[in-house]
Amino acid sequence: MTASGAFIPEIDGLRFIAIFAVVVFHLAAGLAIKSPAAYALSQNGFVGTIAWHGFRGVELFFVISGFILALPFASHFLEGRPRVSLGQYFLRRVTRLEPPYLLAMMLLFLLQTVVRGRSAAQLWPHLCASLVYLHNLVYGTESPINNISWSLEIEIQFYLLVPLLSMLFAIRNKIARRAIITAVCAVSTALGWLFISPGDRAYLSILRFDHFFLIGFLIADIYLVDWKRRPTRSWVWDAISAVCWPALFYFWGAGAAERDPVLVTLLAPWAVMALYCAAFRGHLTNRVIVNTGITTIGGMCYSVYLLHNPALALLIDRTRSLAPSGIYGANLAVQLAIFGPLLLIPCGAYFLLIKKPCMRKDWPRKACQRLRALSPSVTAD
């Protein structure tokens, strides 16, 4: 469901890749903590390196967000479509994303305090900061309520900047417009590398990641102007996809980053851009990406993202000793085969009951109508 009624299946397919990478990372990390003898030292191999750097799926999400949010603004400037109402734009962000987020954070707060016995007084300030998307800025660390919320706070910062950044699409000359976006990406990447360290407040802010969002802007520009919303296919893009998806995560791995960190930092966003283009333009790649099963799971990635890590933490205690072979990749695959269906059940239910209703643009009005219908009518004597 989208506000415009336009569905781009490739986007949900790419969401699947991003959420799959993040889930595999948290699974690998959780197993390494709970069962170090079998899983802790395996990140040195090819499969282990890819799994241990699945957290890069967050940057993949940032590119997707840049594309999605740029599209209506770019359509106005580049295709002459109606101007985006900023009031509707911000209201849509609130009504679509806030209810699932707020409910998940409060449920996880109860889980931490009631079930796990942690101090409510100590966690309460963290919950309050997380609910208003300020935990990163206030504490400079991930939220103990749900550690994945750090990236959602950065998403909110980007949402606020989109109307301003979208003025880049007002530049009529295609070459000049893309050159400026590319230059801003390059400057952002360099500034983040040179001046933002892990201990800084800016480390968990839009200042460190805005070039990934702007890569999404570039893809939106190409999608509308060059592809006219109907990209042509080529087997060359399939070859790029087959080689570069696993290479990307290995390239992002600790070993590659330590050998040539500047090259890794500068090239990674553009490698993601090429792979996203391959998702639209490859024959076989596109067929896989738009598969109904892939897009269905990708479409509920927000629910999976909100709930998967606490669910994994509970389940790993029961499967941590399961390592049927001496091969790390095989053991991880067995764990994933167990966790996959178990994760999809609660996350799918949360999506259907909470998230999907909020995807309807008119749900607040209908909710008010139902509340009025349920309230007892009062008649005057």
Per-residue pLDDT tens over the stretch 287-319: 999 999 999 999 999 999 999 998 888 888 888
pLDDT of residue 261: 63
- Per-residue pLDDT at 144 exceeds 90: yes
**Is residue 309 within 8 Å of residue 26, measured between CB atoms?**
yes
Q: Rounded to an integer, what distance in angstroms lies between the CA atom of residue 65 and that of residue 61?
A: 6
At residue 5 the predicted structure's pLDDT band, cuts being 50, 70 and 90, is low
Q: Rounded to an integer, what distance in angstroms lies between the CA atom of residue 46 and that of residue 54?
A: 13
Segment of 12-16, 30-34, 49-53, 267-271 carrying the highest mean pLDDT: 12-16
Angle, in degrees to the nearest 10, between helices 261-281 and 9-34: 140
**Is residue 213 within 8 Å of residue 185, measured between CB atoms?**
no
Exposure string over 237-272, b if 16+ CB within 10 A, otherwise e: bbebbeebbeebbebbbeebbeeeeeebbbebbbbb
Q: Rounded to an integer, what distance in angstroms lies between the CA atom of residue 346 and that of residue 107?
A: 13
pLDDT tens digits, residue range 236-279? 999 999 888 877 877 776 555 555 666 677 788 898 999 999 99
Burial class from Cβ neighbours inside 10 Å (0-12, 13-18, 19+) for residue 336 reads middle
Please compute the mean of the pLDDT values over residues 164-187 and round it to a whole number.
95
Tell me which residue of 73, 96, 95, 74 sits closest to 86, measured CA to CA.
73
Domain ranges (residues) in the chain: 1-52+291-360
Exposure string over 20-49, b if 16+ CB within 10 A, otherwise e: bbbbbbbbbbbbbebbeebbeebbeeebbb
At residue 48 the predicted structure's pLDDT band, cuts being 50, 70 and 90, is confident
Task: Map residue 93 onto helix, strand or coil.
Answer: helix
Task: Map residue 1 onto helix, strand or coil.
Answer: coil
pLDDT of residue 365: 79
